[in-house]
């Protein structure tokens, strides 16, 4: 499609700009062994340090079996330790009415058993414009000077809440991002 060709042109441009330090791999049907092989090959051949996996799901042989999702997450965790690399993965939240500030692991539904494998789990959700008045933020963790979210007519300006649900390294803050 023309959209796909445009994406490929952007990828080619990005690769030229940063000397092939970003690689995009599109896998449609794969097993955990295939995933392991792809990441290992890029690690050994290209010395990658970061992997971003969108969207974490079970392998093709186990679609719908969410216990298998934990196996895929465990595989990724083992690769981070073996190669000393970062692997970030996205999961989709349930479509529900939980306010962004109150997100928990339960908002991942059937895939919530992956939490025990992760070192860090952050949940993101957009704040609806009509609810801006319910939120405020502080530039420091002392909360001495709290500010309201700025409302704007620009539809491209959005606010998101990030709830750190698990962090083996320490604190579990709630963060507001303006994009």
pLDDT in tens, 142-164: 778 889 999 988 999 999 999 99
pLDDT in tens, 46-91: 888 899 998 888 877 887 777 888 889 999 999 999 999 999 998 8
Sign of the torsion angle spanned by Cα atoms 49, 166, 106, 110: positive
Helix, strand, coil percentages (3-state) for the chain, rounded to 5, are 40, 20, 40
Q: What is the pTM of this model?
A: 0.72
CA distance linking residue 78 with residue 149, whole number of Å: 40
∠ at Cα 71 (79, 161), nearest 5°? 80
| Residue 27's pLDDT band (cuts 50, 70, 90) | confident
pLDDT for residue 39: 95
Whether 20 shows a pLDDT value over 70: the answer reads no
Whether 95 shows a pLDDT value over 90: the answer reads no
Name 137's bridge partners. Answer: 147
Query: Tokens 């320490």 sit at which residue?
Result: 170
CA distance linking residue 11 with residue 17, whole number of Å: 10
CB distance 115 to 167 below 8 Å = no
| Residue 104's pLDDT band (cuts 50, 70, 90) | confident
pLDDT for residue 6: 93
């Amino acid at each position: 499609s023309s959209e796909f060709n445009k994406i490929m042109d952007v990828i080619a441009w990005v690769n030229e700009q940063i000397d092939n330090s970003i690689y995009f791999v599109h896998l449609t049907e794969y097993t955990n062994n295939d995933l392991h092989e792809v990441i290992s090959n890029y690690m050994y051949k290209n010395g990658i340090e970061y992997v971003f996996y969108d969207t974490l799901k079970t392998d093709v042989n186990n679609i719908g079996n969410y216990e298998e999702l934990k196996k895929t997450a465990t595989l990724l965790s083992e690769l981070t330790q073996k190669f000393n690399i970062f692997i970030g993965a996205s999961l989709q939240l349930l479509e529900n009415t939980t306010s962004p500030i109150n997100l928990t692991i339960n908002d991942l539904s059937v895939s919530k058993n992956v939490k025990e494998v992760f070192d860090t789990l952050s949940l993101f959700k957009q704040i609806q414009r009509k609810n801006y008045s319910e939120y405020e933020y502080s530039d420091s963790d002392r909360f001495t000077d709290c500010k309201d979210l700025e409302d704007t007519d620009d539809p491209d300006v959005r606010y998101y809440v990030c709830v750190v649900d698990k962090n083996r390294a320490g604190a579990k803050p709630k963060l507001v991002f303006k994009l």
